[in-house]
Amino acid sequence: MNNSQSDNLIIAGKNFTSRFLLGTGKFPNKQALHEAVTASGSEIITVALRRIDLERHEENILEHIPDNITLLTNTSGARNAKEAVRIARLARESGYSHWIKVEVINDSKYLLPDNAETVKATEALVKEGFTVLPYMYPDLYFARELAAAGAATVMPLASPIGSNRGLKTKEFIEILIHEIDIPIIVDAGLGAPSQAAAVMEMGADAVLINTAVATAKHPANMARAFAQAIAAGRTAFLSGLPAEKADADASSPLTGFLYENPKSEIRRKPEYRI
């Protein structure tokens, strides 16, 4: 974990030292979740409002979460902007914070987000005072609209939720990193710490991991591994990774001829005859 004050992740004016966000679904039990949260060092965790037992019949996963952690309720189950807004309002009415991860997914087969509805939901929720972190398919146009709408970050997917297929959308996330000024948190589909490291090396601001940790044989250990990888990737990025070279250096550079003969006409500075 990078503890440098100067390299904090800043979202909506709030400082975080960890660039590892953790999802809380799919864990075998609450104890495993608690241990993974601790091992990860995460300061932001996501939880689906649909899974929160507001009737309090069963032990609430939130009872295991340390107080210093920012809880990001997500609108999982929302099929359109209207439903996402309703779920967000319900989360706030139930006493959860105004930080909301907007997930608008009208696709139960691949769980791909609907960018257009995500923009509408973000616009509406920002107006209502929510801090919105929208999950999206990496598309530059929509990312610009989300930023313009007041989203605190954008969260482009690496590959479909739960698929563990890694960074399939690399080129398009790179475009976002270059062109979008709000934090980019790569979310969904990262299946191994090496993949998370690669995302951070590219210059992403943070990553969100769920399935790969929750379904590991030892979730806490896996969380620890991800934390180390994310920190390593970030440090590598800040240190300036050498650029990839397409081919070997030419032994005779293209402009070598300009400097071979010191008396060459070509070396004279231009003279202006006035």
Partner 1 sequence: MFTLQDIKNALNTEDPQKTEHLARQAAHLTRQYFGRTIALYTPLYISNYCSSHCTYCGFNSHHTIARKKLSAQEIRQEAKIIADMGIEDILLLTGESYESAPLSYIIEAVQICKDFFPHIGLEIYPVEENEYRELFCTGADSVTVYQETYNRRRYREVHLAGKKQDYDFRYHTPERAAKAGMRRISMGILLGLSDPAEDIFALFEHLRSMEKRYPGVEYSLSFPRLRKIKGRDFALCTVDDITFTKIICLARIAFPRIGINLSTREDAGFRNHAIELGVTRISAASNTAVGGYSLETPQEQEPQFDIADQRSFEDIMKTLKHKNFDPVLTDWRRIDNT
Query: Considering the rule CB under 8 A, would residue 52 count as an interface residue with partner 1?
Result: yes
Rounded to the nearest 10°, the torsion over CA 228, 225, 183, 138 is 140
Which of 8, 194, 215, 235 contacts partner 1 by CB under 8 A?
A: 215
Query: CB of 156 within 8 A of CB of 172?
Result: yes
Query: Considering the rule CB under 8 A, would residue 124 count as an interface residue with partner 1?
Result: no
Which of 3, 15, 66, 107 contacts partner 1 by CB under 8 A?
A: 107
Which of 4, 28, 66, 267 contacts partner 1 by CB under 8 A?
A: 28
Strand partners of residue 157: 187
Query: Considering the rule CB under 8 A, would residue 127 count as an interface residue with partner 1?
Result: no
120 vs 56, 127, 190, 207, CA distance in Å?
32, 11, 27, 24
Nearer to partner 1, 93 or 249 (CB): 93
Query: Considering the rule CB under 8 A, would residue 116 count as an interface residue with partner 1?
Result: no
Backbone dihedral region for residue 265 (phi beyond 0: left; psi -120 to 50: alpha; all else: beta): alpha
Report the chain's C-alpha Rg in angstroms: 23
> Which of these is catalytic: 14, 30, 101, 127?
101
Q: Is 245 a catalytic residue?
A: no
Residues near partner 1 (CB under 8 A): 25-30, 50-55, 57-58, 77, 79, 83, 86-87, 90, 105-109, 111, 162-164, 211, 214-215
